[in-house]
Amino acid sequence: MRNIPLFFVISVAVLAATHTDAAERNTRQPFELLDGDRVVMIGGTFIEREQRESYIETALTAHYPDRNITFRNLGWSGDTVRAESRGIFDPPEVGYQRLMEQVTELKPTVVMLFYGNNESFAGDKGLPQFEHDYRKLLDDLSVAASNPVFVLVSPHRHMKAGNALPDPTKNNQHLKMYSLAIERLAHERDSTFVDMYKPLTSGEWIESENGIHLTPTGYSRASIVFCERLLGPKSHGDISEDLRLAVIEKNRLYFYRWRPQNVTYLFGFRKHEQGNNAVEVPQFDPLIEEMEAKIAELRRVGGDTK
């Protein structure tokens, strides 16, 4: 362990007294994914839209051809460390509890967190609150989800994408500030930090049309940056398109499963009317399993099923 601030030691001690499970931070240094890992990814639009492209998930899958690692993407546009996008009919606090429950149900061994972009608009004034809320999120997840390994991912920069769009200079100052805060948080818990803010030595890797969200090419590049900064240089090899398409399909099916349309009638306050249709929702599970099996097959053979 490196230099650990005193309050961290104290909070560990307090936690140890009350919760033995979470007494010890679960970390991996250097980070690697293990056979049997269940990785849950949470955050805002960046990780939600990753499902459409699935470059990051595919790269991580392909990196370990002989390890069975499964991914569940719980990204939700506009989300923050306070789960502000997840309240639905309830206040964000209930959405936060729901996030805890959803993550817990998935029994994750690794949780990757992609927060900071949306919070950064609050600037310097919002920073202490962000740090407080992020720390609380990690603490709560540790307890709820049986102490998973955390990977804290910083937001990426905004770019100048056209004259009509806002100048990103100020946003980027804030993003940098928030990224540093996330790095400090990771440091303080000995968790893994992935810096997506820092440009490459060869230049900027971001590709975006609106300055803040990535294009498909942007995601392809992001997967390289992400793998190398998480797993080390040259950790990103060529990935098979078949494998990527299978991952995308699995993610689509899982999205129907965990965030179905018509939730008002299926599980919400009008379930007494059409709640009988909710029986269909778990019927996606075998379809997801089928896709997982296909992904495993493609992973083992390097993406070529023929």
Window 35-94: residues binding another protein (CB under 8 A): 36, 38, 44-45, 48-49, 52, 68, 70, 76-80, 84-85, 87-91, 93-94
Identity of the residue, 63 or 158, whose beta carbon is nearer to another protein in the bound complex = 158
Site string for another protein, 185-224 (x = CB under 8 A): -----x------------------xxxxx-x---------
Identity of the residue, 9 or 293, whose beta carbon is nearer to another protein in the bound complex = 293
Identity of the residue, 143 or 228, whose beta carbon is nearer to another protein in the bound complex = 143
Distance CA 126, CA 185 (A): 16
Q: Which of 4, 8, 11, 26 binds another protein (CB under 8 A)?
A: 26
Read off the tokens for 190: 């000995």
Query: Exposed, middle or buried, 193 (CB in 10 Å: 0-12/13-18/19+)?
Result: buried
Side chain identity at 36, as an amino acid letter?
G
Shortest spacing between CB 202 and another protein, in angstroms = 25
Shortest spacing between CB 163 and another protein, in angstroms = 9
Q: Which of 5, 10, 13, 105 binds another protein (CB under 8 A)?
A: 105
Read off the tokens for 20: 């033995």
Identity of the residue, 198 or 257, whose beta carbon is nearer to another protein in the bound complex = 257
Distance CA 100, CA 137 (A): 9
Per CB under 8 A, the segment of 59-67, 116-124, 177-185, 239-247 that binds another protein is: 116-124
Task: Using alpha carbons, list the distances in angstroms from residue 43 to 23, 62, 291.
Answer: 25, 23, 24
Shortest spacing between CB 13 and another protein, in angstroms = 15
* Those residues with Cβ within 8 angstroms of residue 300's Cβ, 6 or more apart along the chain or in another chain: 65, 66
Residues 257-286 close enough to bind another protein by CB under 8 A? 257, 259-265, 267-274, 276-277, 280-285
Q: How many CB atoms lie within 10 A of CB 86?
A: 22
Is position 256 an interface residue for another protein (rule: CB under 8 A)? yes
Q: Which of 8, 65, 67, 104 binds another protein (CB under 8 A)?
A: 104
Residues 143-182 close enough to bind another protein by CB under 8 A? 143-144, 146-149, 158, 162, 164-166, 168, 171
For residue 40, the cross-strand partners are 72, 111
Q: Which of 101, 136, 173, 204 binds another protein (CB under 8 A)?
A: 101
Distance CA 240, CA 225 (A): 18
